[in-house]
Protein backbone atom coordinates (compact mmCIF):
# COMPACT_ATOMS: atom_id res chain seq x y z
CA UNK A 1 0.00 0.00 0.00
CA UNK A 2 1.31 3.44 -0.95
CA UNK A 3 1.83 6.00 1.77
CA UNK A 4 -0.80 8.72 2.19
CA UNK A 5 0.55 11.95 3.67
CA UNK A 6 -1.87 14.02 5.76
CA UNK A 7 -1.82 17.77 5.12
CA UNK A 8 -3.01 19.65 8.20
CA UNK A 9 -4.54 23.12 8.35
CA UNK A 10 -2.09 25.79 7.16
CA UNK A 11 0.42 23.09 6.16
CA UNK A 12 2.10 22.17 2.89
CA UNK A 13 3.45 18.72 1.97
CA UNK A 14 5.33 17.61 -1.17
CA UNK A 15 5.58 13.96 -2.26
CA UNK A 16 6.89 11.82 -5.10
CA UNK A 17 5.03 9.03 -6.89
CA UNK A 18 3.53 6.65 -5.83
CA UNK A 19 2.59 8.49 -2.62
CA UNK A 20 -0.65 10.43 -2.11
CA UNK A 21 -1.77 13.57 -0.30
CA UNK A 22 -4.89 13.87 1.88
CA UNK A 23 -6.53 16.76 3.68
CA UNK A 24 -9.65 16.41 5.79
CA UNK A 25 -12.51 18.72 6.61
CA UNK A 26 -12.18 21.48 4.02
CA UNK A 27 -14.97 23.93 4.72
CA UNK A 28 -14.14 27.47 3.69
CA UNK A 29 -10.50 26.36 3.32
CA UNK A 30 -8.95 25.47 -0.03
CA UNK A 31 -7.01 22.32 -0.82
CA UNK A 32 -4.48 23.37 -3.47
CA UNK A 33 -2.54 20.75 -5.43
CA UNK A 34 0.38 21.57 -7.71
CA UNK A 35 1.84 18.73 -9.74
CA UNK A 36 4.36 17.87 -12.45
CA UNK A 37 3.40 14.51 -13.89
CA UNK A 38 6.68 14.10 -15.82
CA UNK A 39 8.78 14.65 -12.68
CA UNK A 40 6.33 12.55 -10.61
CA UNK A 41 6.12 15.27 -7.96
CA UNK A 42 3.05 16.79 -6.29
CA UNK A 43 2.41 19.14 -3.41
CA UNK A 44 -0.66 20.15 -1.44
CA UNK A 45 -1.43 23.18 0.71
CA UNK A 46 -4.39 23.54 3.10
CA UNK A 47 -5.18 27.26 2.70
CA UNK A 48 -7.25 28.87 5.46
CA UNK A 49 -7.41 32.56 4.50
CA UNK A 50 -7.20 34.60 1.30
CA UNK A 51 -4.35 36.96 2.17
CA UNK A 52 -1.64 37.57 4.70
CA UNK A 53 -2.10 41.33 5.18
CA UNK A 54 -1.61 42.06 8.83
CA UNK A 55 -0.33 38.55 9.59
CA UNK A 56 3.28 39.64 10.04
CA UNK A 57 5.57 36.82 11.15
CA UNK A 58 2.79 34.19 10.88
CA UNK A 59 2.86 34.54 7.08
CA UNK A 60 6.56 33.63 7.10
CA UNK A 61 6.18 30.81 9.62
CA UNK A 62 3.11 29.23 7.98
CA UNK A 63 2.97 30.30 4.31
CA UNK A 64 0.44 27.53 3.61
CA UNK A 65 -2.16 29.36 5.70
CA UNK A 66 -2.75 32.18 3.20
CA UNK A 67 -3.52 31.99 -0.54
CA UNK A 68 -1.14 34.83 -1.38
CA UNK A 69 1.79 33.11 0.33
CA UNK A 70 0.85 29.44 -0.22
CA UNK A 71 0.92 29.57 -4.02
CA UNK A 72 4.50 30.91 -4.40
CA UNK A 73 5.76 28.83 -1.46
CA UNK A 74 4.28 25.60 -2.87
CA UNK A 75 5.68 26.40 -6.34
CA UNK A 76 9.14 26.78 -4.77
CA UNK A 77 8.78 23.53 -2.76
CA UNK A 78 7.66 21.31 -5.65
CA UNK A 79 10.39 22.76 -7.88
CA UNK A 80 12.96 22.14 -5.14
CA UNK A 81 11.85 18.47 -5.21
CA UNK A 82 12.35 18.20 -8.98
CA UNK A 83 9.24 19.65 -10.64
CA UNK A 84 9.71 21.98 -13.60
CA UNK A 85 7.75 25.21 -13.21
CA UNK A 86 6.63 25.33 -16.87
CA UNK A 87 5.04 21.88 -16.50
CA UNK A 88 3.14 22.61 -13.28
CA UNK A 89 -0.64 22.28 -13.20
CA UNK A 90 -3.05 22.98 -10.37
CA UNK A 91 -6.26 21.55 -8.95
CA UNK A 92 -8.29 23.07 -6.12
CA UNK A 93 -11.24 22.08 -3.96
CA UNK A 94 -13.07 23.62 -1.01
CA UNK A 95 -14.14 27.21 -0.54
CA UNK A 96 -17.58 26.44 0.88
CA UNK A 97 -19.84 29.02 2.52
CA UNK A 98 -20.08 27.31 5.89
CA UNK A 99 -21.78 30.02 7.94
CA UNK A 100 -24.68 32.39 7.37
CA UNK A 101 -25.87 34.89 9.94
CA UNK A 102 -29.08 36.84 9.28
CA UNK A 103 -28.28 40.52 8.77
CA UNK A 104 -24.52 39.92 8.72
CA UNK A 105 -22.27 41.49 6.14
CA UNK A 106 -22.02 38.72 3.52
CA UNK A 107 -18.59 39.70 2.15
CA UNK A 108 -17.07 39.36 5.60
CA UNK A 109 -18.48 35.86 6.05
CA UNK A 110 -17.75 34.72 2.47
CA UNK A 111 -14.28 33.47 3.37
CA UNK A 112 -14.70 30.38 1.18
CA UNK A 113 -15.38 32.26 -2.04
CA UNK A 114 -12.65 34.79 -1.21
CA UNK A 115 -10.21 31.91 -0.63
CA UNK A 116 -11.11 30.36 -4.00
CA UNK A 117 -10.89 33.66 -5.89
CA UNK A 118 -7.54 34.63 -4.36
CA UNK A 119 -6.06 31.16 -4.96
CA UNK A 120 -7.16 31.28 -8.61
CA UNK A 121 -5.80 34.83 -8.98
CA UNK A 122 -2.44 33.83 -7.50
CA UNK A 123 -2.20 30.81 -9.80
CA UNK A 124 -2.90 33.04 -12.78
CA UNK A 125 -0.38 35.63 -11.57
CA UNK A 126 2.26 32.90 -11.37
CA UNK A 127 1.34 31.39 -14.74
CA UNK A 128 0.12 28.05 -13.35
CA UNK A 129 -2.88 26.62 -15.26
CA UNK A 130 -5.85 25.47 -13.17
CA UNK A 131 -6.77 22.11 -14.69
CA UNK A 132 -9.72 21.31 -12.38
CA UNK A 133 -11.67 22.76 -9.47
CA UNK A 134 -14.54 21.86 -7.16
CA UNK A 135 -15.37 24.91 -5.06
CA UNK A 136 -18.32 26.63 -3.46
CA UNK A 137 -21.51 25.24 -2.02
CA UNK A 138 -22.13 24.85 1.69
CA UNK A 139 -20.79 21.36 2.44
CA UNK A 140 -17.45 20.23 3.79
CA UNK A 141 -15.02 18.22 1.67
CA UNK A 142 -12.20 15.74 2.13
CA UNK A 143 -9.71 15.46 -0.73
CA UNK A 144 -7.04 12.97 -1.75
CA UNK A 145 -4.57 13.46 -4.60
CA UNK A 146 -3.03 10.35 -6.14
CA UNK A 147 0.35 10.46 -7.89
CA UNK A 148 -0.61 7.18 -9.57
CA UNK A 149 -3.66 8.57 -11.39
CA UNK A 150 -2.97 12.33 -11.03
CA UNK A 151 -6.61 12.70 -9.99
CA UNK A 152 -8.02 14.62 -7.04
CA UNK A 153 -10.76 12.62 -5.32
CA UNK A 154 -13.26 14.96 -3.68
CA UNK A 155 -15.66 13.58 -1.07
CA UNK A 156 -18.45 16.06 -0.36
CA UNK A 157 -20.42 15.54 2.83
CA UNK A 158 -23.85 14.22 1.87
CA UNK A 159 -23.20 14.44 -1.88
CA UNK A 160 -20.84 11.58 -2.68
CA UNK A 161 -17.45 11.37 -4.37
CA UNK A 162 -16.07 12.84 -7.59
CA UNK A 163 -12.70 12.69 -9.32
CA UNK A 164 -11.34 15.81 -10.92
CA distance 143 to 12: 14
- C-alpha closest to that of 68 among 47, 92, 43, 42: 47
Decide: 33 and 42 in contact? Cβ < 8 Å. yes
- C-alpha closest to that of 118 among 53, 162, 21: 53
Active site residue 29: yes
Catalytic residue among 13, 14, 15, 29: 29
> What does the chain come to in residues?
164
Our CA dihedral for 145, 14, 119, 67, rounded to 10 degrees, sits at 140
> What are the residues whose beta carbons fall under 8 Å from the beta carbon of 2, sequence distance 6 or more?
18, 19, 20, 148
Helix (H/G/I), strand (E/B), else coil: 110: coil
> Active-site residues: which are they?
29
Amino acid sequence: MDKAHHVGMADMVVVSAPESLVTLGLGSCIGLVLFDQAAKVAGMAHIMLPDSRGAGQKALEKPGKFADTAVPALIAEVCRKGAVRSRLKAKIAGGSQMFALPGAQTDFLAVGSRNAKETEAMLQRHGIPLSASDTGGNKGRTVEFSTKTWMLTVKVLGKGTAEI
